[in-house]
Amino acid sequence: MIITVTLNPAVDKVYWVDRLRICEVAEEEFMTRALRSATSAGGKGVNMSVFLSGMGMENVAMGFVGGHTGHVVVRDLRDRGVTTNFIWTREETRTNVTVLEQGHESVPMLIGEAGGGVTDHEMERFLRRYRRMLGRAEWVVLAGSIPPGIDATIYRDLAQMAQDAGAKVVLSAGGEALVQTFESCPYLVKPDTREHRELMGIDLASKEKIIEAGRHIASCGAEMVVISHEVTGDIAVTRDAVWEIRTPVRPVEFRNLVGADDVFLAGILFRLVEGDGVEQALRFGLAAGLASAESEEKVCREIERIEAEMPKVTVERLEREGA
């Protein structure tokens, strides 16, 4: 069984517009009408849970939810077959907004709320429940941002608890939360570099720098590190090799990138759990991410569509470690 922990989930609201108009002078006032919109439960771990459930893999989504939007998150997850075990808080679950301009869907405008705070009592309740759930878990996913007021070491502590219970840890986070968790040696790490294209003081401006950063994280104990390179490519660093995962699909073919990166990671995890090797897991993961990006629905869960994307994906071993 897999536990996904999303401490700061969200309601994702996506708007597709014909043209995104911005006021140029203060006296201007106009309305941009949405061609269509979509509302769904969101957050990195939440998106991964939705995908894994669609693949028939048992998982439980944990974290904090509150208020009306919290009910939206829980209801949407349960409608998609995800088992939930959230702690309810006094604060309203955040809402994240994405605006997609027609013809420019590969360059979304993202507006993310910080989210509400979590009290010490609520955190204590979560930790008690988390410890109980670890008795059944083989994998634990720690993903996304941390709510205001929670120390950046929380993922490190949760990772250590999981490993002490015999579970492997997947980490998808950015900033200080990512740095603080390295020492706990997660099995699989995917840094979130959406806000800052920098990692461990290394500017991720080239393939060589990405590989350098990946090797640094792997040296801390991770079995696999996956870092985004381009919209249609990623670099994976394992203990004995460096891999480049690419596709010739053009960004203009994308319809909704929201959640596609989470599906990519969930696809890798799914195939690793199923016993695939690194190359096949990476190929399936990017194919799953592509299928999601090419669909207006945030998370593609149709195995036939994913398998149809797999021939488009190349996985090249760039070099062996120490070579």
Q: Note whether residue 109 is domain-resident.
A: yes
Q: Note whether residue 26 is domain-resident.
A: no
Q: Is the confidence at residue 320, as pLDDT, over 60?
A: no
Q: Note whether residue 81 is domain-resident.
A: yes
Q: What percent of the chain has pLDDT over 70?
A: 94
Q: Note whether residue 271 is domain-resident.
A: yes
Q: Note whether residue 27 is domain-resident.
A: no
Q: What is the pTM of this model?
A: 0.93
Query: Measuring CA to CA, which residue among 187, 17, 192 is closest to residue 101?
Result: 17
User: What ranges in 92-153 are assigned the alpha helix state H?
Assistant: 120-134
Per-residue pLDDT tens digits for 296-315: 889 999 999 999 999 999 99
Q: Note whether residue 201 is domain-resident.
A: yes
Per-residue pLDDT tens digits for 111-170: 999 999 999 999 999 999 999 999 999 999 999 999 998 999 999 999 999 999 999 999
Q: Note whether residue 114 is domain-resident.
A: yes
Neighbour tally for 206: CB within 10 Å: 10
Domain range enclosing 244: 2-19+34-320
Per-residue pLDDT tens digits for 161-195: 999 999 999 999 988 888 888 778 899 999 887 66
CATH assignment at residue 266: 3.40.1190.20
Asked if 124 and 64 touch (Cβ cutoff 8 Å), the reply is no
Q: How confident is the model at residue 105 (pLDDT cuts 50, 70, 90)?
A: confident
Q: What angle do CA 121, 122, 127 make, to 5 degrees?
A: 95
Say which residues have a Cβ less than 8 Å from residue 130's Cβ, sequence separation at least 6. 3, 5, 62, 158, 161
Number of domains in the chain: 1
Q: Note whether residue 29 is domain-resident.
A: no
